[in-house]
Amino acid sequence: MYERILVRYGDLNLKGKNKKSFSDRIDRLIREKLADFPVSYDFRHDRMFVLLNGVEGETVMNRLDRVSGIYSYSPITKCAVDLDEIARTAIQMIERKTGGSTTTFKVETKRADKQFPQTSQDISRELARRILPACPFLTVEVHDPKLVLSIEIRPEGAYLFTEQIRAMGGYPVGVGGKGLLMLSGGIDSPVAGYLAMKQGIEVECIHFESTPLTAIESVQKAIDIVEVLADYAPYAKMKLHLVPFEPLHRKIIEHIPESFIITVMRRMMYRIAEQVANRHDCLCVLNGESIGQVASQTIESMDVIGSVCDRLVIRPLATYDKIDIIAIARKIGTFDISNRAFEDCCTVYLPKNPVIRPSRKLAQHYETFFDYEPLVAAAVEGVRTLTLSPKEHFDIASKGLVVKEALAG
Ligand code: ATP
Ligand code: MG
């Protein structure tokens, strides 16, 4: 069985001077992720080995799937630098992998030890000659084989692998600064957050809660989602800023013409998000908007809504199809939580005919119907911040009906 995992870092060669700090950061993220295992490490410049020391390889690989910046990894079997020994090890690996089913095959050798007398090509040929009689179910195919046996000859040993598993890719989380994710509890925003982290942005979340107008269970949904997302964050910790949105929410319903309720509500959210982002050194605001999905996400709507925010707004899902968003949500483990049915502040009193092409002027005009600035300021002052982690579940729904009281008690 394999006793180490080769981890390859992605895309770092594009980054010139940053390369060193990127690879240092991935090293650190990997160490953190595996801190509770007795594994050890062998660091190289754009890759590393995790020496399993008896730890289950699957468990380690599952953790590596949560480290952004890792391009791929391979379970590695090491043996002595001796062609008979390598062939024997290879035959065992191939039998285990194929179960004896017919497949196409080639050997690929890299020789990091130039002392070794034969060329890479010679070694591959020699090995194939030894392996094929023992594995009659294999047919050699050099161009597009289903099974590639890769071998690296190094002074201290030969490294063999048959699998190269794609990991998250992207950049190590944190190298891209910090962003504030508007997290609703729906399907889209957690996926937007995941994609941002994958691209190196550290994420804090902001959730607008309207308890008791909406059920506290919708806040619990946001909490549960953050606990899942936090597994991709440094130290598996993520902040959730809860904004008491109910007073503003009520005023909007009371004063704003029905077709503009969503537009104005979103503009208020952006105003608050901008201020919270400033307070917490977040360089951008992120959200789950996706063009065309609903009335508030036509480009006209997105323009009118986003125009109140004087921070860079990144919409990772702007051009994504819902089907692709759902596939990612399932993969990262947020889909089932998002799918739980609870009203949030955007589904309660949902207007029947929201405006599809609002204008900035009209939105500004309706916003003069009540004095929103003190309410926005109060919402920002009233923010309560939780630090969440998958390691410790936070149950707010059992504590009361209103966030303020649940957190006080
Ligand atoms: P999601 O699936 O993420 O809930 P959605 O399909 O519900 O998105 P909308 O309700 O139109 O989409 O919201 C668009 C975006 O606005 C969300 O992806 C999210 O980023 C942000 N948003 C909406 N409601 C909230 C909220 N209560 N708290 C924080 N952000 C929100
Ligand atoms: Mg959406």
CATH number for 88: 3.30.2130.30
Residues 244 and 281 in one domain: yes
Identify any residues that bridge with 383 across adjacent strands, giving them in sequence order.
none
Q: Which of 286, 342, 277 is nearest to 317 (CA)?
A: 286
What is the tally of helices (H) and strands (E) in the chain? 14, 15
Ligand 1 touching residue 187 (CB < 6 A): yes
Residues 130 and 271 in one domain: no
How confident is the model at residue 383, as a pLDDT?
A: 98
**Enclosing domain of residue 390:** 178-408
Ligand 1 touching residue 189 (CB < 6 A): yes
How confident is the model at residue 50, as a pLDDT?
A: 97
CA distance 227 to 392: 8
Residues 216 and 309 in one domain: yes
What is the block-wise mean pLDDT of the chain (409 residues), using blocks of 10 residues? 90 66 91 96 86 96 96 96 96 95 96 85 95 96 96 92 95 95 96 98 98 94 98 97 98 96 96 98 97 84 96 97 97 96 59 87 97 98 98 94 90
Residues belonging to the chain: 409
Give distance in angstroms: CA of 186 to centre of ligand 2. 7
**161 part of a folded domain:** yes
Give distance in angstroms: CA of 326 to centre of ligand 1. 15
148: amino acid identity, one letter: V
Rounded to whole angstroms, what are the CA distances from 235 to 187, 222, 238? 24, 20, 9
Give distance in angstroms: CA of 216 to centre of ligand 1. 17
Residue nearest to atom 17 of ligand 1 (CA): 288
Residues 15 and 110 in one domain: yes
**127 part of a folded domain:** yes
> What angle do the packed helices 57-64 and 19-33 form, to 10 degrees?
130
Q: At 173, list the tokens.
A: 């989380």
How confident is the model at residue 12, as a pLDDT?
A: 56
Identify any residues that bridge with 154 across adjacent strands, giving them in sequence order.
157
**120 part of a folded domain:** yes
Peptide bond into 117 cis (omega under 30): no
**385 part of a folded domain:** yes
Burial, 409: exposed, middle or buried (Cβ in 10 Å; 0-12, 13-18, 19+)?
A: exposed
How confident is the model at residue 351, as a pLDDT?
A: 77
CA distance 197 to 179: 9
How confident is the model at residue 354, as a pLDDT?
A: 87
Ligand 1 touching residue 196 (CB < 6 A): no
127 and 82 Cβ atoms separated by less than 8 Å: no
Q: Which ligand is nearest to the CA of 334?
A: 1
Residues 155 and 233 in one domain: no
Burial, 169: exposed, middle or buried (Cβ in 10 Å; 0-12, 13-18, 19+)?
A: middle
How confident is the model at residue 296, as a pLDDT?
A: 75
Residue nearest to atom 5 of ligand 1 (CA): 186
Ligand 1 touching residue 289 (CB < 6 A): yes
- Nearest ligand 1 atom to alpha carbon 317: 18
Ligand 1 touching residue 344 (CB < 6 A): yes
Strands (E) located in 262-403: 284-286, 312-314, 384-388
Q: Which ligand is nearest to the CA of 219?
A: 1
Pocket test for ligand 1, best of 189, 261, 276 (most atoms within 8 A of CB): 189
Ligand 1 touching residue 184 (CB < 6 A): yes
**306 part of a folded domain:** yes
Give distance in angstroms: CA of 186 to centre of ligand 1. 6
Residues 235 and 349 in one domain: yes
CA distance 195 to 324: 12
Cα-Cα end-to-end distance for the chain: 53
**CA 54-60-62 angle, 5° bins:** 150
What is the pTM for the complete model shown? 0.92
- Nearest ligand 1 atom to alpha carbon 218: 27
Pocket test for ligand 1, best of 181, 183, 187, 188 (most atoms within 8 A of CB): 188
Residues 153 and 203 in one domain: no
Residues 320 and 243 in one domain: yes
Residues 35 and 64 in one domain: yes
Ligand 1 touching residue 72 (CB < 6 A): no
Of the three residues 141, 166, 191, the one that is the final residue of a domain is 166
**26 part of a folded domain:** yes
Residues 91 and 197 in one domain: no
- Nearest ligand 1 atom to alpha carbon 186: 4
- Nearest ligand 1 atom to alpha carbon 293: 6
How confident is the model at residue 15, as a pLDDT?
A: 57
Of the three residues 143, 166, 189, the one that is the final residue of a domain is 166
Q: What helix, strand, coil percent values describe the chain, rounded to 5?
A: 45, 20, 35
200 and 222 Cβ atoms separated by less than 8 Å: no
CA distance 162 to 120: 17
Of the three residues 132, 166, 200, the one that is the final residue of a domain is 166
Residues 361 and 253 in one domain: yes
**173 part of a folded domain:** no
67 and 167 Cβ atoms separated by less than 8 Å: yes
Alpha helices in 99-187 (DSSP H): 120-134
**386 part of a folded domain:** yes
Total structural domains within the chain: 2
- CATH code, 291: 3.40.50.620
Residues 328 and 192 in one domain: yes
Give distance in angstroms: CA of 188 to centre of ligand 2. 5
Residue nearest to atom 4 of ligand 1 (CA): 186
CA distance 176 to 180: 13
Residue nearest to atom 23 of ligand 1 (CA): 184
- Nearest ligand 1 atom to alpha carbon 294: 11
Give distance in angstroms: CA of 41 to centre of ligand 1. 41
